[in-house]
Structure 1
Amino acid sequence: DMTKMIGGVPSLVTWDLDYSDGELVEAELAFFAQDNDGNVWRMGEYPEEYDEGKFLTAPTWIHGYEEARAGIMMQGKPQLATPSYAQGWGPAVDWTDRGQVDQMGVETKVPAGQYKDVLVIAETSAAEPDAQQLKYYAPGVGNVYVGWRGAGEKTKEILELTKVEQLDAKAMAVVRAEALKMEKHAYEVSKNVYAHTPPLEQMPSTGQAAK
């Protein structure tokens, strides 16, 4: 329930944690906005990478800084047999990801349930042109499965959605506090990019007038 103004666009904030064998390897603040045609844009990312609990680096890219440009996270009207599209452009940190509609109308079963009419997006990058991540998106839910394809794929990562949970006000307050804590660190370590962005703002709740 927080936003950050990026390039004059109020962008929704997500807070992601990535664990491997129970150990936190990456935490990330990412920013998204939707246009009038339904396209969801990735406005930038602040990822923190860790090793054995120690902070290593934060390869940040945000639209408008160091030649970075927003890219499309999800097309409003995806179609098969269409060209790939940039998911963002962050040359300072080698962010060159691209997406392309790979399959539509797929049925997928994961621990969280069985989903129909699933959209599959194949993602690749300039650094690994012969490696693809396959991301499965279910209507009304989002990303439910991640697979891989290609001889150049190194991690061969597979992820499955195990549970869908709606956070209550107390849990949201905890998440909000953690996001703000992470942003404080971002201002300290990302001097060339994040330090120049305006602070996160909480969205007004229902019935609450915006200030």
Structure 2
Amino acid sequence: MNGSGVRRVLAALSLLLVLPAGLAACAGGPPTVAPTGVDELTIPTPMPDPSDFVDPDADESAANPWFPLEPGRVWTYRRHELQDTYVERVTVTDRTRVVDGVTTRVVSDELVDTAQRVVSSHERYYARDNLGNVWFFGIAGDWEAGVAGAEAGLAMPAHPRLGDGFVVDAGPGTAEDRAEVLALDAKRDVPAGSFDDLLEVEQTTPHQTGLVRRAYYAAGVGLVFQETVAGGTELVELVASG
């Protein structure tokens, strides 16, 4: 990004599996893929420039299709954890919050048990930059970018590619998840329907060795399925969205 803001440097993790341009050319491989937002970003970003981010209330015609942030959007999920089943509701609110100088959109997340009791609720802060990348700025009461060394991570690149790797959140000691794009053509059947051409992302964290989650996103919808494939039993399925 600009100036002292999010510097335009190649800062993807070692998870990035794309060959350097010169090596690909010498090996007679396919043409080099044009740079995307992931290539040109410092992730996490230590000094976000507010001018690099869109107004949360601006036109969403250029929104990230994998991670919609239009106020009023609601997703209902069925979440299974061990022997328990919950209903999870994720809502893009009409509220905003300034975090580390950037005006972010507040997204609420509420977990309800079978007796209709609220088990937990959280508020997360996201912001979309001018290139369409969605950044994760924190969770209320947990960590916030710009506080105690925490920095904004990348929730979703604008144009994810197979092998792209990035830091999702950067709250030292509490939230340091990493993500890698595994597929762009995954398929899943969930209560909300059958989905093709899903973006499949694997997520790990240094704070829970052996924990591996895989999340599946549909363009124009967002998250439709998530499962813990190692180190846990969590399963999340989309029931309805709108």
| Number of matched pairs | 148
Aligned residue among 31, 35, 55 for 2:129: 35
Query: Partner residue of 1:71?
Result: 153
> Which residue matches 2:111?
18
- Residue 61 of structure 1 corresponds to which residue in structure 2? 143
Equivalent residue for 2:195, pick from 105, 115, 121: 115
Higher strand share: 1
Structure 1, gaps ≥5 residues long: 47-57, 166-211
- Verify: 1:88 aligned to 2:181, yes or no: no
Match for 1:8 among 97, 101, 115?
101
Residue 228 (structure 2) pairs with residue 134 (structure 1): no
CA distance in 2, matches of 1:34, 1:9: 10
> What is the match of residue 237 of structure 2?
160
User: 5+ residue gaps in structure 2?
Assistant: 1-93
| Paired letter, 2:100 | G
Counterpart amino acid of residue 15 in structure 1:
S
| Deviation digits for residues 93-134 of structure 1 (CA, Å, limit 9, x no counterpart) | x21111111221112211111122110111110012322111
Q: 2:184 aligns with which of 104, 111, 118?
A: 104
In the alignment, residue 172 of structure 2 is paired with which amino acid? P
Distance 1:6 1:77, change over 3 A: same
- Residue number in structure 2 paired with 1:147: 227
Q: State the superposition RMSD in angstroms.
A: 1.5
SS in 2 for 1:67: coil
Q: Amino acid of the residue matched to residue 187 of structure 2?
A: E
Structure 1 residue 13, shift from structure 2 partner: 0.7
Alpha-carbon distance in 2 for matches of 1:34, 1:164: 21
Partner residue in 2 for 1:169: none
Q: Identify the structure with the greater helix proportion.
A: 1
Partner of 1:203: none
Percentage of identical aligned residues? 30
Query: TM-score normalised to the size of structure 1?
Result: 0.66
The alpha carbon displacement at 1:85 in A equals: 1.2
